[in-house]
Structure 1
Amino acid sequence: MQIENIQFEQEGTIMYITINREKYLNALNKKTILELNHVLSLCESDDSIRVLIITGSGDKAFVAGADIKEFASFNRREGTELSRFGHELLFDKIATYTKPVIAAINGYALGGGLELALAAQIRIASNNAKMGQPEVTLGVIPGYGGTQRLTQLVGKGKAMELILTGEMISANEALKIGMVNYVVSQEDLMLKAIEIANKIAANSPRAVRKSIQAINATYGNIGLLKEIELFGSCFGTEEFQEGVTAFLEKRKPNF
């Protein structure tokens, strides 16, 4: 596969993966998801890699969401397939990955970008980071695991507030509610990620893998399947058309 949208490099036991679409605030499009899936598959079979660190290029965004232009005209069936595609190839793959994935959140993590971070086993944010699930402003719901994984991390009440208002929160607020593990300066972000990665890499790979499996066993996939269905049902509606049109026209939607 020709890799265009991500950069990856191994140093010691750590694989560094950078989503490299800085011009588009590292927004996730279909090609980027496919490329990430490809690299994750390569890393999974390489025993020399113990931990993965994912971040975004530049200092503005980790991932500022999905590439809305790609699905602005989708109908219900296409919207459902979009969600299922993302779940299977990337978000569920990371959540159930056999090696720990650390998300180094270096700026905006919105929509699918926050969902990518939520799927990781550990999250570290720089103090300039902003996080949120603004999908309701587009006439849809989080479709890449946000309704489930955010609730698991921060509790039902706070997840309801964040998803229903669509508001962004600061890195310090995210730390306070348990969305991220640490908040550090921009300069120290990768240093903190590497520190944690090295601690993990020094442990038994088998025990680390089994620990991830055991913790994940607490959570079923019924909610994720319902999310896919409900996400798809939002597509093709008048509210969806108004939401994405307003976004692309850079104005507030009129619901």
Structure 2
Amino acid sequence: MTRVTVENVWKVYGDQTVLENIHFETEPGSFIALVGPSGCGKSTFLRMMLGDEAPSKGRILIDGVALEDEPSPDRGVVFQRYSVFPHLTALQNVMLGLEFAQSPVMGRLFGRKRREARTASLEMLKSVGLAHAVNKYPSELSGGMQQRLAIAQALIKKPKILLLDEPFGALDPGIRNEVHEIMLRLWREEGMTIFMVTHDLSEAFKLGTRVIAFDRVRNRPEEQKAYGATITFDLKVDGKSAPPQPPVDATLAAAAQ
């Protein structure tokens, strides 16, 4: 499980301050819901977590180590728009991440490695409820199924951190509830730390172990550029906690003593 430490992070574009003095630490395996009005820097913060952008000041640490300056396999991401490849089947979409990870030049696996990647991808599709759709193309899938496929894509490489940028906002309420339950089950099974941006407070409190709100506290016209959004409230959700950490192997524990 992964602990994230955000130390006095600011993000400035030219003369426009978007975020100021963002400071918090997560427990390993937390599900952090980020809420706040449009334009308050939630997605900007997610891009910094992903490594697409760097803080202007401050730093982000993953288990005590400074975040890499570019995206890496230890961070998966799911966007609101379905980030799947339309010319590939569901199975091919999920296998692609493993193929590029193990064969970055050719993007293809052969023999035993391909069989192992196929088996792992089939298991992942089964875990998101798409075992019946492995050979279907995205255009043949509903919106909820496409989003489940995007989740499978993000999880196939076992990231330590999963970043969700309003991933359920375009889904109908019934489908959204179904995908919520899948997401909660996968979070518990995989033990990931999750950051989710959402405008839906009920969704934030349903899924999150902790809800953090970004907003501007200085809104006069002369302050709009000089000051950015900061954390206005930070609440732990009653009755929810991170999944338990896996037991320590007795042999390893004895060796460490």
Give the TM-score of the pair, scaled to structure 1. Answer: 0.26
Name the larger-Rg structure.
2
Higher relative contact order, structure no. (Cα contacts within 8 Å, ≥ 6 residues apart): 2
Where is the helix percentage greater, Structure 1 or Structure 2? Answer: 1
Q: From the two aligned structures, give the one with the greater strand fraction.
A: 2
